[in-house]
Amino acid sequence: MSSRNRFNYQKYEKKYFLPPVHTCDWVKKDAIDQAPAWCSVDLRDGNQALPVPMNLSEKLELFQLLLDIGFKEIEVAFPAASDTEFAFLRTLIEKRMIPEDVTIQVLTQAREHIIRRTFEALEGAPKAIVHLYNSTSEAQRRLVFQKSREEVKQIAVDGAKWVKQYAERTKGEFYFQYSPESFPGTEVDYALEICNSVLEIWKPTPDRKAIINIPTTVENAMPHVFAAQVEYFSKHLIDRDSLVLSIHPHNDRGSGVSDAEFGILAGAERVEGTLFGNGERTGNVDLVTLAMNLYSHGVDPKLTFSDMPSICETFERVTRMTVHERQPYSGKFVFTAFSGSHQDAIAKGMQARGQAAGDKWDVPYLPVDPADLGRSYETDVIRINSQSGKGGIGYVLDQAYGIKLPYRMKEELGYCVKGESDTRQKELSSEEIYAVFEREYLAYHPRFQVLDYRLGRGPGHIAFVTVQAGGGDPIDIEGQGDGSLDAVCQALKAYAALDFHLEVYEEYSLGKSSAAQAVACIGIVQEGRYYWGAGIDKDIMNASVQALAVAVNRLGTAGPRG
């Protein structure tokens, strides 16, 4: 069989169901203006998808992390599933580890012995949501259960009755949630019928609401289809003012975030998901991305990710999973620019931000301020390789060392640094970039170096300069010019037998104190071509002479293009 025959699209067909009435009022909204209620399912749905599920201590550590981030609802366990799950729940309750403003959630199938075991684990819980579910899809009814629609609905109804009965017998404050599992493959009006039947048993009130949770257990349609389904539910559930409409998107088609955002526009008030999207198959919806999308629009997400590197480290350690380098907001490369044009735009945006009044964020290529997430401008934003440009390289030198280069000099250094990266086949650190700068512009003396100089008195400006070529003896030379630096320049012209003129001279301090180092950058020109040098010294004249000597050396050895 050919590979073409094996890769056969014709054996697939669309298997989702549109609602009987398709209104799509949600399309008229262009933004989400407040955060939904968040429920983390990392400790249950996320945990069950790990190759090595978390042990008790790891679950406790992740629970604390979720509290620190700000989650007020956390699905902590499927207590009837294993002794570890049961023990974890009991530990939280007996050690009083659940804050007063946090509600835990537990999962149970619609089977009496599992519900009974669940409430045994919940005894004494301060506040808990009991999450009841059963699968309702057409395929599961036909292939797995071999039951009719009415029989599957009865499973949900019986489960709702048992949950209510056991809640009345158990010490604790309990709220109820129902999910028609495998919803994407369920006829929408039938799923609604089941949910309304469950609600008729629970009889929620505006003061004690129930939760109806719509899961995209296996995502099988485009996000606008899910939004239409959610909107239909929102408009046709009974006792709507006594309900919280929740959604639980998965990511099989890569649209989990879109499903969630469209679902909120369509009427959902609550979202279940996991940090970084961990979960079965392609995972649950990524709550970090959802919350940070709100944040980037100026909406308080009610969750805090101000130390994202630490959050990632804890998550990776306890789950043994990896946060991908390109994971939105949290990946280590998502604020990093390697491209020269991107680096230049970011550097100019940051410079403009430093000069502008107000605190509104507006920097090209950076949708949010990396510093808000605990990321460093120096090490995370602009990183240098063979694809980088002068703007990024100059930005790194400025941020890490306070060195600001003239535009043309920055361009020439860019060629040197990119050549270094290309030769070594690696990204260069700020230290390595400075080493290139030092080698090429601070300590470049292949022909000669200036050992000393002094300035004479008298008419005009006279400079007496001591130079040394290679290992030879020092030589005293002199020059006369319009100023002190020009006098040194004339001396070096005569010594090197070179004709040039000093075109660019920039100097500044690296600090505000009187003891701060001074930086001088000099560009000399011969036949329209620039040759550059730099000097750093406590004395600005010393720095300038050093810079001039390097520039003349570069001219004399036909240095890199500038």
pLDDT one-digit tens code per residue, 226-245: 999 999 999 999 999 999 99
pLDDT at 391 over 90: no
Describe the strand order of the beta sheet including 518-526 as a list of residue ranges.
501-509, 518-526, 529-537
pLDDT band at 115 (very low <50, low <70, confident <90, very high): very high
Residue 562: predicted pLDDT: 35
Is it the case that residue 389 has pLDDT exceeding 70? no
pLDDT tens per residue, range 69-111: 999 999 999 999 999 999 999 999 999 999 999 999 999 999 9
Rounded Cα gap, residues 525 and 528, in angstroms: 6
Q: Among 495, 485, 497, which Cα is nearest to 533's? A: 485
Give residue 175's pLDDT: 98
What are the pLDDT digits (tens) for 443-453? 999 999 999 99
DSSP 373: G
Average pLDDT over every residue of 316-340: 89
- For the entire predicted model, the pTM comes to 0.79
- For range 202-221, the mean pLDDT: 97
Residue-level pLDDT at 465: 93
Produce one character per residue of 406-417: b if its CB has 16 or more CB atoms within 10 Å, e if not.
Answer: bebbbbbbbebb
Q: Sheet harboring 461-468: ordered strands across?
A: 449-456, 461-468, 475-481
Provide the pLDDT for residue 399: 81
Q: Identify the pLDDT of residue 525.
A: 94
3 state SS of 398: helix
Provide mean pLDDT across the span 32-46: 97
- For the residues 368-383, what does the mean pLDDT come to? 78
DSSP string, 297-346: TT---S---TTHHHHHHHHHHHH-----TTSTTTSTTTT-B-SHHHHHHH
Reported as a pLDDT band with limits 50, 70 and 90, residue 549 is very high
User: Among 3-17, 150-164, 388-402, 542-556, where is mean pLDDT lowest?
Assistant: 388-402
State the average pLDDT over residues 168-196: 97
% of the chain residues with pLDDT over 90: 73
How many of the other CB atoms lie within 10 Å of CB of 340?
A: 18
Q: Quick: pLDDT tens for 425-475.
A: 888 888 888 999 999 999 999 999 999 999 987 667 889 999 999 888 999
Q: Cα–Cα distance between 53 and 273 in angstroms, integer?
A: 17
**In the structure, what pLDDT confidence band is assigned to residue 382 with cuts at 50, 70 and 90?**
low
What are the structural domains, with CATH classification, of the chain? 34-319 (3.20.20.70), 340-442 (no CATH), 449-556 (3.30.160.270)
Out of 35-39, 98-102, 179-183, 483-487, pick the least confident.
Answer: 483-487
Residue-wise pLDDT for 349-372, tens only, equals 887 887 776 788 998 889 999 999
Can you give the pLDDT at residue 429? 82
The pLDDT assigned to 559 comes to 41
**Helix or strand holding residue 524 (H, E):** strand 518-526
Average pLDDT in the chain:
91
What integer pLDDT is reported at residue 422 of this predicted model? Answer: 83
The tokens of 194 are what? 């089941």
pLDDT-derived band at 558 (thresholds 50, 70, 90) equals low
**Count of alpha carbons within 13 angstroms of residue 142, beta-carbon side:** 5
Q: Model confidence at 222, in pLDDT bands (50, 70, 90)? A: very high
Over residues 131-155, mean pLDDT: 96
Tell me the helix, strand and coil percentages in the chain, rounded to 5.
Answer: 45, 20, 35
Return the pLDDT at 123: 96
Instruction: Determine the Cα–Cα distance for residues 489 and 520; give it in Å rounded to an integer.
Output: 15
Note the pLDDT of residue 1.
53
561 confidence band (pLDDT: 50, 70, 90): very low
pLDDT digits (tens, 9 = 90+) for 47-67: 999 999 999 999 999 999 999
